[in-house]
Amino acid sequence: MALVDVAVSDPNGASKFYGELFGWDFDPELWPNGYRYARVDGSVVAGIRPLNDQESAKWDVYFGVDDVDVIAAKVSDLGGQVVFGPNDAGDAGKVAIGLDTAFGAFGLWEAGAGWDFVQGRDDTLVWSELLTPEASVDEFYSSLFGFETHQIGEEAFDYTVWTLGGETSVGRLKSSDGESASWTPYFGVDSSVGTDKVVARASELGAQVLFGPADIPAGRVATLRDPFGAQFSLVDLSRSTR
Q: Tell me the pLDDT tens digit for each residue of 151-163.
A: 886 666 789 999 9
Domain 125-239 has CATH 3.10.180.10: yes
Domain range list for the chain: 3-111, 125-239
Of the pLDDT bands very low, low, confident and very high (cuts 50, 70, 90), residue 240 is low
Of the pLDDT bands very low, low, confident and very high (cuts 50, 70, 90), residue 214 is very high
Give 66: exposed, middle or buried? Use CB within 10 Å, 0-12, 13-18, 19+: exposed
Query: Is 33 in contact with 48 (CB distance < 8 Å)?
Result: no
> Which phi and psi (to 5°) does residue 16 adopt?
-65, -45
Residues 64-81, mean pLDDT to the nearest whole number: 96
Cα–Cα separations (whole angstroms), residue 169 to 101, 128, 147, 207 = 21, 6, 10, 25
- pLDDT at residue 30, rounded to an integer: 65
pTM of the model: 0.94
Of the pLDDT bands very low, low, confident and very high (cuts 50, 70, 90), residue 239 is confident
Same fold, 3-111 and 125-239: yes
Cα–Cα separations (whole angstroms), residue 134 to 31, 71, 182, 200 = 35, 22, 12, 34
Cα–Cα dist 204/235, whole Å: 19
Q: CATH class for domain 3-111?
A: alpha beta
